[in-house]
Structure 1
Amino acid sequence: MYCFQNATTKEPLRWYVNFEHPYRRRPGLGIDTMDLALDLVVTPDLMGRYWKDTEEYAQLRRLGVVDDYAGRQIERACGRAIAMLDERTGPFASGWPTWAPDPSWPLPTLPTLPPGADEAATAMTPYRP
């Protein structure tokens, strides 16, 4: 879930719910995830919404990239996102879009990559919680 904001005014531009597998660490500093194509875009006032990339998601389903098990999980996640939007709960509750980090906070530094971090990753196993 993202709330895109105007960099100057901090006013919300749009809300964006990106359906994807959770991030998973792998050995070294690697992180695996997989975008599931389907996105929900919501207007700044939370009154309008539309689904994005539904055709791409349908193709992933047809090809079996998103199997029936994952498809059911995604359907439930879509329902939870719509319920939170309709009920103005979770990230859609009032106040959150105005949050910004304290300008006095230092910028994070990037770690040095360990030996072998540039090697090819092993195949990702299907996500099963």
Structure 2
Amino acid sequence: MDGDRAVRKEAFDALACGMWELAAAVWQETELLLWKPPAAWFSVNAFYTVGGLRNWYVNFERPTARTGNGLDTFDLTLDLVAAPDLTSWQWKDEDEYAHVRRLGIVNDTEHQAVDAARDQALAMLEERSGPFADADSWSAWRWNPAWPIPSLPRPAAAGHGVASTGD
């Protein structure tokens, strides 16, 4: 989600107030295979286009929790993007991460967890471990159009959520 940076900054400012609106949306342009270890402060995503694996994407986020409505997590804006063959990588949105830190959306304890997760994700890339252990095989993965489209239950709260402090 590159989009207009000013719009994203406004969204973070509103989020810092503790409220946001949920909106129905349909994922477009890529297929996504996501690997999320329990209690991890990141997920590893493989993005596919009709041409094959576009890139690996490590998304730093709060650990996933089960709720009455499904699964809940919180994107912390920081990402690590790696080439399909894992020969290169780059950090993405470090400026946004610094902004959400200034706003208090990511507190000091969470920041320490993200720093440890950065080290863990980089080690997995360098060692070709976790989902990167069999990266060549994952390059050939494809979504089967015959699979049913997943759906989640409607949220209990009418379209608004309150940001967790993560404490």
- How does the TM-score come out when normalised to structure 2? 0.61
**Where in structure 2 are the equivalents of 1:1-129 lying within 5 Å?**
1-7=44-50, 9=51, 11-27=52-68, 29=69, 31-94=71-134, 95-102=137-144, 105-108=146-149, 110=151, 113=154, 117=156, 119=158, 123-127=162-166
Shift of 1:99: 2.6
What's the Cα RMSD here? 2.5
Cα distance in 2, alignment partners of residues 88 and 81 from structure 1: 10
In the alignment of these two chains, the number of paired residues is: 122
* Cα distance change of structure 1 residues 16 and 87 upon mapping to structure 2, 3 Å threshold: same
Unaligned runs of 5+ in 2: 1-43
Structure 1 or 2, whichever has the larger Rg, is 1
Deviating above 4 A after TM superposition, structure 1's stretches of 4 or more consecutive aligned residues are none
Instruction: Tell me if structure 1 keeps the 8 A contact 2:62–2:76.
Output: yes
Instruction: Tell me if structure 2 keeps the 8 A contact 1:37–1:57.
Output: yes
Q: Which has the higher strand share?
A: 2
Instruction: Tell me if structure 1 keeps the 8 A contact 2:57–2:81.
Output: yes
Unaligned runs of 5+ in 1: none
